[in-house]
Chains A and B, each alone.
Chain A
Amino acid sequence: MGNNPAPGMNTGCFMRPECTPRNGRLHQEEVKMKKTVFFGALTAVGLVAGAASAATLDDVKARGKLNCGVTTGLVGFAAPDANGEWQGFDVAVCRAVAAAVLGDATAVEFVPTTGKTRFTALASGEIDMLARNTTWTFSRDVDLKFEFTGVNYYDGQGFMVPKELGVSSAKDLDGATVCIQTGTTTELNLADFFRSNNIGYEPVPIETNAEAQQQYLAGACDVYTTDASGLAATRATFEAPGDHVILPEIISKEPLGPLVRHGDPEWGDIVRWSLNALIAAEELGISSTNIEELSAGTNNPEINRILGTEGTLGEMLGLDAEWAKRAIAAGGNYGEIFAKNIGESTPIGLARGLNAQWTEGGLLYTPPFR
């Protein structure tokens, strides 16, 4: 892991993992060890890490790493590349938060989670935040006790069918065999859609995206359904993407966003405003190329507040003044991240659509930095 901070970055001691345990945290560690002898012994063997107390921020700083839950592999959103480095749209959010909190965009431990394990991983404190195209729903927010900290991608469930079937609308799919990736809200939306249109179908639940693709390409199902962004990402990996069409119907609202545990509002604020900073940066024209120049001071007070040259926003969050600057510098503003990972110039080729800034007819609208 590179420990080279970007030029102009504040590299206080608290940011480096190796020097933290000696300043003040040591006492707490000792207490913890005495409390649980068994875990003390295991800690000595290095397999147990203390975490998940109320103050997530302190834990992350003490650990020197952000544990961020992602998918097990969805190209464009989160997938390891040939070198084993995680890349993608969700990954960029994790990196931005790590940059804001720890000053190092590479200080992230990516924890691959499945649809089944993601919520437990978050609830039990194995991960500090989850950025795994997770839909913000009432029951997840209220019943499962999570806090959604915003939306980084407005999605909706769509259908992909082979062109040769000649289907032009999802309502023509009566009796079709539908491949679904399990562990998502997809199954529920699908059941609702077919039920409300009074048509039948045969679901084939598949565990991983790769296997769903295989089934779909072999013709074992007629339709593949998942979030429209996922469909585009999947279609991009096909040999002949042109042979498949994505149907116009979007049958659900899928606001995807990062989430944290209930009960630690300070940490929730950090994740929320790191994401907002990325969105606001695009709106205000801050990008990774001009950020150094702008941080020298501008006429726009909001830019100054975000970049920490004016006001004390960072302090209010419990971070230093340049937190947002680092978050934006880590991978660029929202628009840059979008373009680099899933935008029209990438194989995935998603249009901005709903994910354009509100000034351009999209839904991205961040509260003011004030």
Chain B
Amino acid sequence: MSDTHAHSVAFVRKEQIPQSPPPARQTGASKWLRENLFSNWVNTLLTILAAWAIYLILSAILPWIFNGVWNASSLSECREILAGKTGACFAVLTERWNQLLFGFKYPPELYWRPILCFFLMLVAVAPVLFFDLPRKMLLFTAVFPFVAFYLIWGGPILTPIVALLGCAAGYVIFDRYGKESFAAGFFGGIVGAFVVWIIGGLVVDLVRPENPMMTPVPSRDLGGFMLNMMLGVTCVSLSIPLGIVLALGRQSDMPLIKGICVVFIEFIRGVPLITLLFVASVMLAYFFPPDSTVDLFLRVVIMITMFSSAYIAEVIRGGLAALPKGQYEAADSLGLDYPQAMRLIILPQALKISIPGIVNVAVGLFKDTTLVSVISMFDLIGMIRGPILASTEWNGVYWELLGFAAFLFFVVCYGISQYSQWLERRLATDHR
């Protein structure tokens, strides 16, 4: 072989060529650029177009932001300071930040209460969102709603205590009797809670102190971004249990219960939230007893909770449907009855699957709380469209205010959706 080789080929290399570095265009930044930005003429064109668009946007926005005026008492003063230059008038934010965050009626000396409440809320939701935290923290989560109520609304401390005691009594009764018969424990718990609330309500009225330690704040005085947060958090947390019940009801084989749940869910999902808010603002009052009026805040909470519970029910139904049928059969074969099977086997798994979906509903709902501005509630958007833009000083400051609102919502919603993605990845590894 080697002979023929030697004859037929003029030159055969005997030694190896030393390794040479890869061509310049195949390495480092230039390779990355070629592959990712200029791989063919379509991509090159797209890259140039995109860069041009980014340049246009940034060249419009950056000077506006960096020339911003932070100290002025009115728009005309801002314009004087800017003297014809492009620039934002962020002074409206520094002057009205408290109104944007808390509404115009919440007493300024009490701002520490919602702020404290906000941080406590972070502590309270942490164990729900991150499974690694000690489970004992859930105890604080259970108490948090009552603390939050006391902090935000103030008034006699007995009110939240009675509400808490009622819930505790209901839970104790359920814990005691629920093991034997779920129904007995469940209804007993509800009755127990109501007994405590009614007796407690009378007691609270009797010993109402002249000057409660925490100044009461009527819910009409709530406003700004705080109102969006409160509506979002309250309605989502209320609608999860309701959503579970609706989802189970829709899966039930009792035709009547299934029918009720289907009609409710489809009805709520079929109409826009704004019509439900109209119901809250102009119609619901007619459905309460003639001698009582219910706070607009509470009416809105009722309607938004109904709204989000229908969506959450559909998410959970998806979770229930995704469980393999074997799980149901396994629970049956262990001889568990329906409540036990649901509580111990089905729901823990189904809820786990549905958490990302629930988080998505929660983000959507939080964004939708801005719609309350249409029914004359002064949430963040309501404050901007109403009192602030209508005032003599700040008439015409649109971009700064809308940008601020957009920024706040973006931070919160983007944060939550990043959490949701993290959770999805985590749950996915759990299944492997």
Contacts and interface: CB of A to CB of B under 8 A. Distances in A.
B294 interface: yes
Interface stretch (B63-71, B127-135, B253-261, B295-303): B295-303
B197 A41 contact: yes
B348 interface: no
A73 B396 contact: no
Contacts of B198: 33, 37, 40-41, 44
Given A40-B201, A43-B201, A213-B395, A74 B281 contact: no
Interface string B197-219: 11011101100101100001011
Interface stretch (A111-119, A136-144, A273-281, A354-362): A111-119
Interface string B137-175: 000000000000100010100010011001000000000
Nearest to A29: B205
A9 interface: no
A21 B208 contact: yes
B385 A210 contact: yes
Interface stretch (B8-16, B244-252, B263-271, B283-291): B283-291
Interface in A20-73: 21, 26, 29-30, 32-33, 35-37, 39-53, 72-73
Given A41-B201, A208-B386, A237-B392, A47 B298 contact: yes
B64 to A, nearest CB: 18
A126 B283 CA distance: 12
A347 B392 CA distance: 10
B113 interface: no
A45 B293 contact: no
> Chain B contact residues (Cβ within 8 angstroms of A): what range?
35 or more
A48 B389 contact: no
A39 B104 CA distance: 29
Given A44-B197, A116-B281, A74 B390 contact: yes
A2 interface: no
A108 to B, nearest CB: 12
A124 interface: yes
A332 B105 CA distance: 25
A44 B200 contact: yes
A46 B146 CA distance: 12
Given A40-B198, A214-B398, A126 B392 contact: no
B298 to A, nearest CB: 5
B376 A80 contact: no
B155 A46 contact: yes
Nearest to B106: A84
A49 B293 contact: yes
A208 B375 contact: no
B194 interface: yes
Contacts of B106: 84
Given A49-B295, A237-B392, 5 more contacts: A47-B219, A48-B293, A75-B390, A208-B389, A208-B390
9 contacts: A33-B198, A39-B292, A40-B197, A42-B298, A44-B204, A52-B291, A120-B282, A208-B389, A239-B396
